[in-house]
């Protein structure tokens, strides 16, 4: 599947009515994803996860998300079936842990909407730290970083590029000490990022990462 930015419109834990308590942003690049869900009520992390996305079938579209890091601590993969809706949104159905029900696996329905990339470089990537569990991603002028290192709590950053004012920090939540920030660089681009190749090891923010996914954004 090609790169994609999505936000969630509603969540329904069956048999309850749908609602949307979070500001959710998902980056998909190649076979990898980053997913950050922030509670609107207090801007705390509802759920954050990152890892690999597998396509199990095309008709219907069924996906499996294998989590490298998960703020809820679960290591079990999630699976869902995605059905296009008449208005262009997507309906995802399946079952996953529900925090409000003690992490009990519960049937759900989620409505997702695709977003256009923010103005920025015409490429997207997802990196994974060689040592530890930190994943970084960008698509155009948007950036996400999720981290759960040994001995530290989960931390997440979400930042947006403004051509006139530089990087704006939208969220810096949890244990973000040591979680890389574009805002501190003063630069739109990382050195050499436009020519990265999948599988390559690159030095960014003072640490070594593997390029898990890289695609042009056009």
pLDDT of residue 1: 55
Regions of the chain where pLDDT drops below 50: none
pLDDT of residue 98: 85
Residue ranges and CATH numbers for the domains of the chain are 4-115 (2.40.128.320), 123-216 (2.40.128.310)
pLDDT of residue 218: 65
pTM summary value: 0.94
pLDDT of residue 112: 98
- The answer to whether the beta carbons of residues 126 and 209 sit under 8 Å apart is no
Q: What CA–CA distance (Å, rounded) separates 54 from 65? A: 6
Per-chain mean pLDDT for the chain: 94
Find the distance separating the first CA and the last CA of the chain, reported in whole Å. Answer: 15
């Amino acid at each position: 599947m090609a790169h994609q930015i999505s936000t969630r419109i509603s969540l329904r834990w069956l048999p309850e009515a749908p609602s949307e308590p979070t500001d959710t942003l998902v980056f998909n690049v190649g076979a990898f994803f980053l997913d950050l869900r922030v509670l609107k009520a207090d801007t705390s992390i509802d759920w954050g996860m990152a890892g690999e996305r597998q396509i199990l079938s095309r008709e219907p579209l069924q996906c499996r998300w294998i989590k490298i890091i998960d703020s809820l601590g679960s290591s079990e993969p999630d699976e869902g079936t995605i059905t296009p809706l008449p208005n262009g949104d997507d309906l995802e159905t399946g079952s996953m842990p529900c925090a409000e029900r003690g992490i009990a696996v519960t049937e759900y329905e989620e409505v997702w909407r695709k977003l256009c990339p923010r103005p920025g470089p015409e490429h997207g990537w997802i990196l994974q730290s060689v040592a530890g569990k930190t994943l970084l991603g960008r698509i155009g002028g948007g950036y996400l970083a999720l981290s759960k290192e040994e001995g530290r709590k989960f931390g997440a950053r979400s930042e947006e590029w403004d051509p006139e004012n530089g990087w704006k920090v939208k969220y810096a939540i949890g244990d973000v000490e040591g979680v890389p920030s574009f805002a501190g660089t003063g630069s739109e681009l990382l050195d050499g990022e436009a020519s990265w190749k999948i599988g390559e090891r690159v030095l960014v923010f003072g640490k070594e990462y593997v390029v898990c996914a890289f695609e042009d954004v056009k």
